[in-house]
Chains A and B, each alone.
Chain A
Amino acid sequence: MSHVQIYDRAMCCSTGVCGPQVDPVLPKFAADLEWLEREGHQVDRFNLAQDAAQYAANSTVQKMLEAEGVDCLPLIFVDGKVVSRNEYPTRENLALWTETKLPVKNMLPMADGGCSGGSGCC
């Protein structure tokens, strides 16, 4: 199982609903992290406004902030390595980095067959 760390900019809240317009990327990413956790990974998400100590304690984060300013945020680490900066990755990418299987899209059951007795779908 992987350890995923996200270093966000200073924000009011992680879904962005506190802003004048909800950026759809934010609630989606929050949902993706929920999914990662359900898959058994350890997820730590930090907000610069509230968890500044975490930024100060991580020398990689410090260095990147020094070099690029807050533009490097969000910074995403998987098992201590930077895998992404300045953007919110997709669920597919998160799956790839953490070697997690994405759920197969549910297919519609076929007209006949595909539904064995007792599965409860018929």
Chain B
Amino acid sequence: MRFLEHPTRHLFFTGKGGVGKTSMSCASAVSLADAGRRVLLVSTDPASNLDEVLGTTLSGKPTPVRGVDHLWAMNIDPEQAAADYRERMVGPYRGVLPEAAIENMEEQFSGSCTLEIAAFDEFAKLLGDEATTSDFDHIVFDTAPTGHTLRLLTLPSAWSGYIESNTSGTSCIGPLAGLQEQQRIYQATKQRLGDAAETTLVLVTRPEPSALQEAQRTSEELRSLGVNNQHLVINGTFKATDPSDPIAIAMQLRCAEAIDNLPKGLVSLEQTSVRLASGGLIGINALRQIRGLGIDAENDTAPSDEVKVSSGPMFSMDGFTSLRSLVDQFAEQRHGVIMTMGKGGVGKTSVAAAVAVALAERGLKVHLSTTDPAAHLQSALADEGLDGLSISRIDPAEVTNRYRREVMQTAGADLDEQGKALLDEDLRSPCTEEIAVFRAFAESIAEGKDGIVVLDTAPTGHTVLLLDSALAYHREVTRQSSQMPESVEELLPRLRDPDFTRILVVTLPESTPVHEAASLQRDLRRADIEPYAWVINQSLSPLPLRDPTLVGRQRNEQSYLNEVRSLHSKRTVLVPWHPVQPTGIAGLRRFVAQVKLKQEDTTVSIS
């Protein structure tokens, strides 16, 4: 990995969920530590599995990693950071102010803003406050999936800019008000991110078009924020070792095609390819192997050689259901919402689109609403057209502008010029986008009254925040006198109604995506929302394989498939890996049709 030859003090790893950010950041940190540098590895992912990958129990403070000298690691836990922050603000007044006042304060500090600001505050301390990290030569950040990271990285600019331009000084800085003394740190954070001698941004991606597109978007967005020292890691490139395995050949072709069509914005970046590993990249030894793969991919011994193909277990499809039978269950109802949830890169959009197409083909009126910024779905399906299927997209910038105009025209209508200016200023706070997107989301859910709505993702990209907002707003709804839109007022009851909203938790049969999905499910349950089913996407398990790397991966899937079935989900859909990307109506049709659960097909040998 060339970015390790002259490493900067800060290294950021970002990318969609499940692309291997944790593996890559851990491998880099281990490599730096092995070279004698003092390294701090930090995960900012709320669903971090750094502990599992490193084999060390971590906390919110730097902990020495077992088996690697000079390496320390820690998790920034946003929940914990928010709880600490809340206690810092409220604690001193317990027993001083009446109980009712304390309760009111706590309520205010449990909103989504607090969570976000508190996590950001922790992050800013590590990046912007020299004293906190002076013990280390390098700080490696393993960040949460893209949406959240962008938010984290844009916040220093957004809030600094907002505070600078806020002339009234009184208003909408929200929970940040208690952190104003941290301004210096935010400024330093912003500056440090833009300094190529200090910070390297490593974009991690899989050799797949959607992941590469997202890497390109992230790259552009961060460049516009002045983060220019970028490096691309393509993780999981694949060459078939067994030419008689048609699936391996198909996978090799798919991979080569994706790399051949590298998005323009990525071509100029320095690149590192990391070959697809046959097993899970858990433990220090596995991490040390990645490093070798990265530096000299061709001559290295592939770890897949260690896999004993002959002892492949029989894979049973018992207990799994098919996407098609799920669609049959949905089709019985003429209205309601079907929502795919999960981290980026697990195939939420494909699953949502496939379900929408299948329902429309059963003669139902279906509206598919996507937040997929690439919008390739929209163009792909609109060109072909399908009776009964309409598609729309929630564009954050567009809904934010609409919301600003609406507020100025309603709440701002009776204000004098100064009053209007004050309101306009508050509406430029970074909170506004959250609210605007949240309202657009509530409106999409409300459309389920009159037909079937399929929603492809949590619009904020950060479901936890979304749900916390729904909860906090719901409380507010019950006490605020002003008229709330019906869609917002009814949002939580609708999401909680199992006959109205059916949530599909989408995941991949790998460690990080499964654990992220489990944590998502816990958040949903905390809000009294029960997912309808889990969809395990891109599984190799039902496929007849011979290629040793793929057989190794297939075997590696087993424990995650079992974990999902036994611990997490009462209804589990297994979608096999597809040799062709499921695009266009024909592709989506195949996506639904693929698994046949006839009795004779229920067991497939994997070797």
Q: Give the interface of A toward B (CB within 8 A).
A: 9-28, 30-32, 34-35, 38, 45, 47-50, 52-53, 55-56, 62, 65-66, 69-70
- The secondary structure that dominates the B interface is helix
Residues of A within 8 A of B89 (CB): 49-50, 52
Q: Does B68 contact A (CB under 8 A)?
A: no
Q: Are A17 and B93 in contact (CB under 8 A)?
A: no
Asked whether A65 and B108 contact (CB < 8 A) given A13-B426, A15-B426, A31-B422, the answer is no
Can you list 13 contacts pairing A with B, beta carbon distance less than 8 Å?
Answer: A12-B175, A13-B429, A18-B113, A19-B435, A19-B473, A20-B435, A21-B484, A26-B411, A28-B415, A31-B415, A31-B420, A52-B105, A56-B97
Minimum CB–CB distance for A107 against chain B, Å: 17
Residues of A within 8 A of B98 (CB): 62, 65-66, 69
Contact of A20 among B93, B171, B423, B477 (CB under 8 A): B477
Q: Does B419 contact A (CB under 8 A)?
A: yes
| Cα–Cα distance between A27 and B173 once the two chains are bound (Å) | 15
Q: Are B111 and A12 in contact (CB under 8 A)?
A: yes
| Cα–Cα distance between A32 and B410 once the two chains are bound (Å) | 17
Query: For A27, A35, A48, A53, which residue has the most chain B Cβ atoms within 10 angstroms?
Result: A27
Asked whether A24 and B435 contact (CB < 8 A) given A12-B174, A17-B172, the answer is no
Q: Mark B400-425, 1 if CB is under 8 A from A, else 0.
A: 00000001001111111011101100
Q: Mark B82-111, 1 if CB is under 8 A from A, else 0.
A: 000000011011001110110111011101
Q: Does B341 contact A (CB under 8 A)?
A: no
Q: Are A19 and B104 in contact (CB under 8 A)?
A: no
Closest to B90 in A: A52
| Cα–Cα distance between A15 and B413 once the two chains are bound (Å) | 14
Residues of A within 8 A of B173 (CB): 13
Q: Does B438 contact A (CB under 8 A)?
A: yes
Residues of A within 8 A of B111 (CB): 12
Q: Are B101 and A18 in contact (CB under 8 A)?
A: no
Q: Are B172 and A14 in contact (CB under 8 A)?
A: yes
Q: Are B100 and A18 in contact (CB under 8 A)?
A: no
Q: Are B172 and A9 in contact (CB under 8 A)?
A: no
- 6 A-B pairs with least C-beta separation: A31-B419, A13-B172, A69-B100, A10-B108, A23-B482, A22-B411
Closest to B415 in A: A31
Given A16-B411, A17-B426, A70-B103, 18 further pairs, Cβ under 8 A: A13-B171, A13-B173, A13-B429, A13-B431, A18-B172, A18-B174, A20-B442, A23-B482, A24-B410, A24-B411, A27-B412, A27-B415, A31-B419, A45-B170, A48-B104, A55-B101, A62-B97, A65-B97
| Cα–Cα distance between A66 and B416 once the two chains are bound (Å) | 37
Q: Are B488 and A21 in contact (CB under 8 A)?
A: yes
Q: Are A12 and B431 in contact (CB under 8 A)?
A: yes
Contact of A52 among B97, B426, B429 (CB under 8 A): B97
Residues of B within 8 A of A13 (CB): 171-174, 426, 429, 431
Q: Are A30 and B419 in contact (CB under 8 A)?
A: yes
| Cα–Cα distance between A25 and B481 once the two chains are bound (Å) | 10
| Cα–Cα distance between A46 and B172 once the two chains are bound (Å) | 13
| Cα–Cα distance between A14 and B431 once the two chains are bound (Å) | 13
Q: Does B439 contact A (CB under 8 A)?
A: yes
Minimum CB–CB distance for A23 against chain B, Å: 4
Q: Does B225 contact A (CB under 8 A)?
A: no
Minimum CB–CB distance for B442 against chain A, Å: 8
| Cα–Cα distance between A28 and B420 once the two chains are bound (Å) | 9
Q: Does B55 contact A (CB under 8 A)?
A: no
Chain B contacts with A in 332-391, Cβ cutoff 8 A? none
Q: Does B485 contact A (CB under 8 A)?
A: yes
Minimum CB–CB distance for B316 against chain A, Å: 47
Q: Are B93 and A52 in contact (CB under 8 A)?
A: yes
| Cα–Cα distance between A105 and B136 once the two chains are bound (Å) | 66
| Cα–Cα distance between A12 and B92 once the two chains are bound (Å) | 20
Contact of B109 among A32, A35, A38, A49 (CB under 8 A): A49
Asked whether A34 and B488 contact (CB < 8 A) given A12-B111, A49-B109, the answer is no
Minimum CB–CB distance for A43 against chain B, Å: 9
Residues of A within 8 A of B427 (CB): 17
Q: Does B177 contact A (CB under 8 A)?
A: yes
Residues of B within 8 A of A47 (CB): 177
Q: Mark B463-483, 1 if CB is under 8 A from A, else 0.
A: 000000100010011001111
| Cα–Cα distance between A75 and B184 once the two chains are bound (Å) | 34
Residues of B within 8 A of A20 (CB): 435, 438-439, 442, 469, 473, 476-477, 484-485, 488
Asked whether A12 and B108 contact (CB < 8 A) given A20-B435, A20-B476, the answer is yes
| Cα–Cα distance between A25 and B423 once the two chains are bound (Å) | 12
Closest to B109 in A: A49
Closest to B102 in A: A52
| Cα–Cα distance between A18 and B108 once the two chains are bound (Å) | 11
Residues of B within 8 A of A27 (CB): 411-412, 415, 419, 422-423, 426
Q: Does B432 contact A (CB under 8 A)?
A: yes
Minimum CB–CB distance for B78 against chain A, Å: 18
Residues of A within 8 A of B414 (CB): 24, 28
| Cα–Cα distance between A69 and B479 once the two chains are bound (Å) | 14
Contact of B480 among A21, A30, A56 (CB under 8 A): A21
